[in-house]
Copies of this chain bind each other. A is one copy, B any other.
């Protein structure tokens, strides 16, 4: 599945983002760093046009901007209409009833290919009790393989839960990623950026010709997005590095990521 990183660079998929204002610049830059093309739009008028030319669509509710809720629904529906892979990042879904209701609306009206959140967000969507504060979550590193498999079956799409261990499941198999560093929680938007990476891989995967696509599973394309962030973060976190430099090194490592590094450093089950 590591081969997929070269496919991103060859295919240069166009990843449309409907996202929050906090991390929008970092999401654009990490998409470029991996070798894909970002397009950010806040236009109601061009939704169908941009989605129709997209390789994938990322929807991220981070700031819950009142004037964009309808746009996000419209974008998701357009993705379904044009058969484009669409990823949901339900940031802070447990934090307010407003976020919970809007996430449910999105899940009801749109068929997502991936729902990606931190462990608390995904558990909450699965109907479990969570402890969180604002949009951050507590995570004790427990193995939630069975839980996430059930949630993936229930929602009917691939589910990603990031944390000390990252879990990716399509309802049948579970991929666990043990890479990472706690510093990823001290930079805003590393979760959002993971969504951009997933969008990039999934966009490339979707553009593969039938026979070539059979070499990979869709769940692997999704896992590659998570793995690229986790390994890049781990490699960026050197002795005594401080957080501003870590953020720069994270971007550096995504830009320089390749098959050899993924093979050498990736810890997957």
Interface residues on A, range: 35 or more
- Docked complex Cα distance between A66 and B12 (Å): 28
- Verify if A83 is at the interface (C-beta below 8 Å from B): no
Partner-contacting stretch, out of A110-118, A158-166, A248-256: A248-256
- Docked complex Cα distance between A128 and B251 (Å): 37
| Cross-chain contact A39 with B245 (CB below 8 angstroms) | no
| Cross-chain contact B247 with A247 (CB below 8 angstroms) | no
Contact with B along A228-269 (1 / 0, CB 8 A): 000000000000001111011111110110000000000000
- Verify if A126 is at the interface (C-beta below 8 Å from B): no
Interface residue ranges of A58-91 to B (CB < 8 Å):
62-67, 71
Task: Given A63-B41, A248-B248, A252-B243, decide whether A49 and B96 contact each other with a Cβ distance below 8 A.
Answer: yes
Find chain B residues with CB under 8 A from A247 CB: 29, 244, 251
A-B contact pairs, 7 of them (CB 8 A): A39-B92, A42-B64, A43-B64, A46-B64, A49-B96, A244-B250, A245-B248
